[in-house]
Amino acid sequence: LWQQLSAELKKTFKPVSYNTWIASVKPIEISGDTLVLELPSEFHLNYWNEHLLDPTQTILEELTGQAMTIKLRLPNQLTNQNQGQTQTLDNDEKAVYGHDTHLNDQYTFDNFVIGAGNYLAQAAALSAAEEPGEIYNPLNIYGGVGLGKTHLMQAIGNEMLRRNPDAKVKYVTSEEFTNDLINSIRTRRQEAFRREYRSVDLLLVDDIQFFADKEAIQEEFFHTFNKLYENKKQIVLTSDRIPSEIPKLEDRLVSRFRSGLSADITPPDLETRIAILRNKALAEGLEIDDQTLSYIASQIDTNIRELEGALVRVQAYCTINKIDIDLENAMAALQGLQELSAERGLSISGIQEVVAQYYRLQVADITGKKRTKNIVEPRQIAMYLARELTDNSLPKIGKEFGGKDHTTVIHAHEKIATNIKRDSELRKQVSDLQKLLQN
């Protein structure tokens, strides 16, 4: 299986990435739905958690045709430098490998850049770390993909451990919580599961929108939540939207979450994006002038993970070609970006086509100037989707919509983003379209 999987990975990733990050990985065991991989260093572990785990899991699930869990671990002699939560497999408690419980120590408040879109969430997060269980409990951080929810959440954990190294901190994604619970039931260790989750000082559950639809899991989580809450233990949750909008999330959970604070993170403005890049460049020891930084920042505006990806791309391009990082070379390096999103089937024109078809219009209506209501809204939806689902810059999107100004795109995006919050019919249409496009 590993051979098959690594062959797929080799096809998927560039040779440089494959050789650096994947070739040195050792398959340790596969049992049931769990594949355990051993990585040579902490550095690899971080990189895997950040960039490779999700795509690898997807490929693995495609290969096996079933839901799979990948656990990452370090060679034995390396594990003791982790945060003291590592346990061995034969322990009665559940087995925990790197990615299960460990915080990524790169995610701190120090390297979290504060900007207009995130300062409230940042402030709330810091308070939660300073006075856990006292002020904002639970704290829910919500917002779009790649905007720093996980970073902020883990920063709370890292900060709490810095202040009190004995604190018991547990970070899980909602899927890990789900898998843990299911495994504990299967192996008749539900007591251990409960003991583990109900004894923490800080519980961080990432991406709770994946609890939607899972009634039994929600039931267990409800009890975990109550136990911790009663004992004044801090709970932090993240989700891609406000909990009351998560479909099939039980009312009693939603109302529990309401008792705390919900803080949203919105996409960073240009200034914040530049600041993030500058920080990142500094941390990597790269010297990049302001003009180049602001060019890179202007290319990607809705997702910080992709913004960082763009910087890595520029860096790699310049290293490989042995040239300096300057504006011209950055432009050359990022030229392929648009094509990249096109490859994933998400070109602007593709979006226009799908939206037109969906509303029984012509593409020319979508890109045209007619102002009748039955056309204006689909057009705005198409712009909204182009902005949400592709890496194209605002001016580029405007241009592809019959040469409209980028402020028109911003307006359309805001309009739809606001309207889907209160109009469930519209919300359904947009999510239908999203599904159509992502298949």
Residue 157 in the binding site for ligand ADP (CB under 6 A): no
Q: How far apart are CA 392 and CA 337, in angstroms?
A: 8
String marking each residue 224-263 x if it binds ligand ADP according to CB under 6 A:
----------------------------------------
Cβ proximity to ligand ADP, 53 vs 410, nearer residue: 53
Q: In the set 148, 350, 378, 398, which binds ligand ADP (CB under 6 A)?
A: 148
Detail the residues annotated as belonging to a binding site.
146, 148-150
Q: Which is nearer to ligand ADP, 114 or 410 (CB)?
A: 114
> Residue 87 or residue 111: which is nearer to ligand ADP going by CB?
111
CA angle, corner 277, sides to 272 and 283, nearest 5? Answer: 130
Check binding of 145 to ligand ADP (CB under 6 A): yes
Residues 7, 28: Cα–Cα separation, whole Å? 17
- Span 312-341, contacts to ligand ADP by CB under 6 A: none
Least distance between ligand ADP and beta carbon 118 (Å): 5
Query: Does 150 interact with ligand ADP (rule: CB under 6 A)?
Result: yes
Backbone angles phi, psi at 171, to 5 degrees: -110, 125
Q: Are strands 169-173 and 34-38 parallel, antiparallel or unpaired?
A: unpaired
Nearer to ligand ADP, 276 or 361 (CB): 276
Q: Which is nearer to ligand ADP, 146 or 350 (CB)?
A: 146
Other residues' Cβ atoms within 10 Å of the Cβ of residue 79: 15
Smallest separation (angstroms) from ligand ADP to the CB of 68: 22
Least distance in angstroms from the C-beta of 51 to ligand ADP: 9
Distance from the first to the final alpha carbon of the chain: 26
Q: Give which of ligand ADP, Mg ion, none residue 308 binds (C-beta under 5 to 8 Å, depending on kind).
A: ligand ADP
The sign of the dihedral angle between the CA atoms of 329, 334, 339, 340 is: positive
Q: Shortest Cβ distance from residue 38 to ligand ADP (Å)?
A: 24
Cβ 224 to ligand ADP shortest distance, Å:
22
Among 38, 176, 308, 391, binds ligand ADP (CB under 6 A): 308
Kindly tell me which residue out of 22, 276, 293, 385 binds ligand ADP, with binding defined by CB under 6 A: 276
CB closer to ligand ADP, 148 vs 157: 148
* Three-state helix/strand/coil letters over the chain: CHHHHHHHHHHHCCHHHHHHHHCCCEEEEEECCEEEEECCCHHHHHHHHHHHHHHHHHHHHHHHCCCCEEEEECCHHHHCCCCCCCCCCCCCCCCCCHHHHCCCCCCCCCCCCCCCCCHHHHHHHHHHHHCCCCCCCCEEEEECCCCCHHHHHHHHHHHHHHHCCCCCEEEEEHHHHHHHHHHHHHCCCHHHHHHHHHCCCEEEEECHHHHCCCHHHHHHHHHHHHHHHHCCCEEEEEECCCHHHCCCCCHHHHHHHHCCEEEEECCCCHHHHHHHHHHHHHHCCCCCCHHHHHHHHHHCCCCHHHHHHHHHHHHHHHHHCCCCCCHHHHHHHHCHHHHHHHHCCCCHHHHHHHHHHHCCCCHHHHHCCCCCHHHHHHHHHHHHHHHHHCCCCHHHHHHHCCCCCHHHHHHHHHHHHHHHHHCHHHHHHHHHHHHHHHC
**Does 140 participate in binding ligand ADP (rule CB under 6 A)?**
no
The tokens describing 421, both together, are 């919050």
When CB distances to ligand ADP are compared, the closest residue is 148
- Does the footprint of ligand ADP cover residue 388 (CB under 6 A)? no
CB of 147 to ligand ADP, least distance (A): 4
Minimum distance from residue 259 beta carbon to ligand ADP (Å): 23
Residue with smaller CB distance to ligand ADP, 150 or 183: 150
Binding site for Mg ion (CB under 5 A): 149-150
CA-CA distance, 144 to 319, in Å (whole number)? 32
- Residues in 66-125 at the binding interface with ligand ADP, rule: CB under 6 A: 111-113, 118
In the annotated binding site for ATP, the residues are 146, 148-150
| Binding range to ligand ADP, per CB under 6 A, among 23-31, 72-80, 124-132, 301-309 | 301-309
Task: Choose between 307 and 354: whose C-beta lies nearer to ligand ADP.
Answer: 307
**Residue 262 Cβ vs ligand ADP, minimum distance, rounded to whole Å:** 15
The listed partner (Mg ion, ligand ADP, none) that binds 147, CB under 5 to 8 Å by sort, is ligand ADP
Closest approach, Cβ 413 to Mg ion, in A, equals: 22
Select 17 or 111, whichever has its Cβ closest to ligand ADP.
111
Q: Which residues bind ligand ADP (CB under 6 A)?
A: 111-113, 118, 145-151, 276, 304-305, 308
